[in-house]
Structure 1
């Protein structure tokens, strides 16, 4: 059994959302026609193992009651709102309600920041986490530019194990372009680490030893938990994106890198494969250590109102122009194979590498 926890903060937050958030709480603001955190709930209920969703924040119970009732009727899963007695931060509320999270002894729980809007690949994140025997927390990460990265939690990841060796929350200078997406899967043992951090925060608060926390129970999950776990082989990161669309029933195994690509329903990407600038068709399979790569078609930034060039499939010499790689439905790419700028028609079982070709 799995659970999910959605952190939504409270009315004192969301100042950048004003004046829109003055009338509608930020987590209930409509995004793509649905309240923001309904997207989180919808992603969670797609996992059959997820039996309960806990929403934690400092909004009043009356503010959230109607929404919670509507969600339970629509999705037929246990959904509860837990109100903090005072704003406790991204870690304090979770630790305060730890008994509710641990009730029923779930295998693990997802932790989702309520201000994130994404195509949450929770199934892939859970499989990645389950393969790491020592993992307490697995972070969903993505690439940002150097300029953007300093506004987020930045992490350095060990290449082969994917263990996070260094984590800094909103650094003053460049650390890494791999940033924290605010989506995690946590083992229950993480509460032992949180207990140690909580005790240190309490000791510092009451001794006045440089602590600036507004309340002795206030705790930051990013600074008080993730930073403590970095470099201990208990914190891992699964990297997605940027700009990745993953269809229903897709299996993405450990060590996979996917960037600027679309992976359609029921496809399988095996261990340590790379997929970039490509479309992987339904029920296709990319073997371990294989590389499926196309060439991006970027607009010319020097042209006003730049837009994508509609390049023909073939050049004047009859050769295939570099473009994205496309695997048709049911295509099987064997292990340790390279496909570059190629198009593969459906249901082909490849036996070697190809470059700049159409495989009929």
Structure 2
């Protein structure tokens, strides 16, 4: 039976937490482990034989995805990949409903819906099996987090044996469960009936206010803005046929700019474990602590030491004696001799001088916050240098976020440099 997938990519009005990196490139196209975030989801989808079409839904201008779609067509010849642009931000469920005719074209039996900012092992085949075994109407990917972090996500209460979802709350004020929403869903066609019912209920609840404040012509626009998590999943949990597949694989959300570093680590480790001969994956040696990805156009001096969990982008240059660890270097970056870059992201065209040191604080993939306390101040655990930043020789930068095109000429720590 045929399946289809929708990837929710957001839009230019969102993603502010990914700044300053999103000033140059949309979050969903930011490279982790040498590939755009979106490409990791597409790779997983391409491995599912029943999926032939993927629709990207968002509010970005069409030109944003033009080159990506061309490259993806070559990389994934078995998938038809298209971008559908919302006329305005409609919310995660509103966009699905608005494009329901395009989504249902070809009469797909099942529909995957994936949030583009999810980094995970994508156990899609396992979700399909649960869907069939349970004769489900919906399956949600769930994962366990520590109790302290659970309230930052949508929380799921399920029946321990059957895995039927009994209750769903988005970002609860009190502890509900540490089984959280992983941002990957599998629905049957009835999901559009549920969204339609929510839309009708919204209209009935707000019609008087809409007519008074906006006029009747705008009322339909208000009801089209629906959120999958807050407006739809709660309804599914009140009916039969909604199940949770709890993954044992890795999972992380890519929300803040700093979260790209642990996501980079997770994807590199997966690649190293499953395809050691993958293009760009460097062989272990005295100077390479795997996993390390090096773009073929990059130049790395043989005396530089890299890894673990490092991605080096196109045309990047790493000089003699440099040390790079837990870091992402984008295209055209330069790290001069004997410099050190740890727990950091260097955006396009960043220059780090000789003997300079750019570093953040260690975090693990299990930590779902990239904020740490330094001298009583909440700062990014990952040092982030936006595009065009220049760090002079022998300068030390620690736990800082530096906005584009700044020259750093003296030591700085725990600051946002505007």
Give the distance between the partners of 1:159 and 1:26, measured in 2 at CA. 36
The equivalent of 1:54 in structure 2 is 55
Q: Which of 81, 91, 94 does residue 79 from structure 1 map onto?
A: 81
Q: Which of 96, 101, 104 does residue 103 from structure 2 map onto?
A: 101
Asked whether the 8 Å contact 1:226–1:235 carries over to 2, the reply is no
Deviation at 1:242, TM superposition (A): 5.9
The equivalent of 2:231 in structure 1 is 224
Asked whether the 8 Å contact 1:163–1:231 carries over to 2, the reply is no
Deviation at 1:7, TM superposition (A): 0.1
The equivalent of 1:181 in structure 2 is 182
Superposition CA RMSD, Å: 2.5
Give the distance between the partners of 2:99 and 2:66, measured in 1 at CA. 18
Q: TM-score, normalised by structure 2?
A: 0.56
Give the distance between the partners of 1:242 and 1:52, measured in 2 at CA. 25
The equivalent of 1:23 in structure 2 is 24
| SS of residue matched to 2:14 | coil
Give the distance between the partners of 1:96 and 1:69, measured in 2 at CA. 25
| Structure 1 gap ranges (5+) | 245-261, 266-304, 306-360
Asked whether the 8 Å contact 2:200–2:223 carries over to 1, the reply is no
The equivalent of 1:287 in structure 2 is none
Determine if the alignment matches structure 1 residue 157 to structure 2 residue 164.
Answer: no
| SS of residue matched to 1:100 | helix
Deviation at 1:231, TM superposition (A): 3.5
Deviation at 1:100, TM superposition (A): 1.0
Deviation at 1:65, TM superposition (A): 1.4
| SS of residue matched to 1:41 | helix
Q: Structure 2 matches for 1:71-220, cutoff 5 A? A: 71-76=72-77, 77-133=79-135, 135-208=136-209, 215-220=222-227
Asked whether the 8 Å contact 2:121–2:250 carries over to 1, the reply is no
| SS of residue matched to 2:200 | helix
Deviation at 1:243, TM superposition (A): 4.3
The equivalent of 1:235 in structure 2 is 242
As a proportion of its length, which structure holds more helix? Answer: 2
Give the distance between the partners of 1:208 and 1:179, measured in 2 at CA. 34
Distance change (3 Å), C-alpha of 1:198 and 1:176 = same
Asked whether the 8 Å contact 2:7–2:56 carries over to 1, the reply is yes
How many residues align? The count is: 248
Distance change (3 Å), C-alpha of 1:232 and 1:45 = same
Give the distance between the partners of 1:211 and 1:3, measured in 2 at CA. 39
Determine if the alignment matches structure 1 residue 14 to structure 2 residue 3.
Answer: no
Distance change (3 Å), C-alpha of 1:57 and 1:120 = same
Deviation at 1:211, TM superposition (A): 11
| Structure 2 gap ranges (5+) | 252-269, 275-361, 363-418
Give the distance between the partners of 2:25 and 2:208, measured in 1 at CA. 40
Give the distance between the partners of 2:198 and 2:181, measured in 1 at CA. 20
Give the distance between the partners of 2:66 and 2:206, measured in 1 at CA. 34
Distance change (3 Å), C-alpha of 1:70 and 1:100 = same
Give the distance between the partners of 1:243 and 1:38, measured in 2 at CA. 17
The equivalent of 2:67 in structure 1 is 66
The equivalent of 2:373 in structure 1 is none
Give the distance between the partners of 1:194 and 1:24, measured in 2 at CA. 32
The equivalent of 1:301 in structure 2 is none
Moved beyond 6 Å, runs of 4+: 209-214
Q: Structure 2 matches for 1:275-354, cutoff 5 A? A: none
Distance change (3 Å), C-alpha of 1:82 and 1:223 = same
Asked whether the 8 Å contact 2:9–2:56 carries over to 1, the reply is yes
Deviation at 1:72, TM superposition (A): 1.1
Asked whether the 8 Å contact 2:154–2:169 carries over to 1, the reply is yes
Deviation at 1:118, TM superposition (A): 1.1
Distance change (3 Å), C-alpha of 1:78 and 1:211 = farther
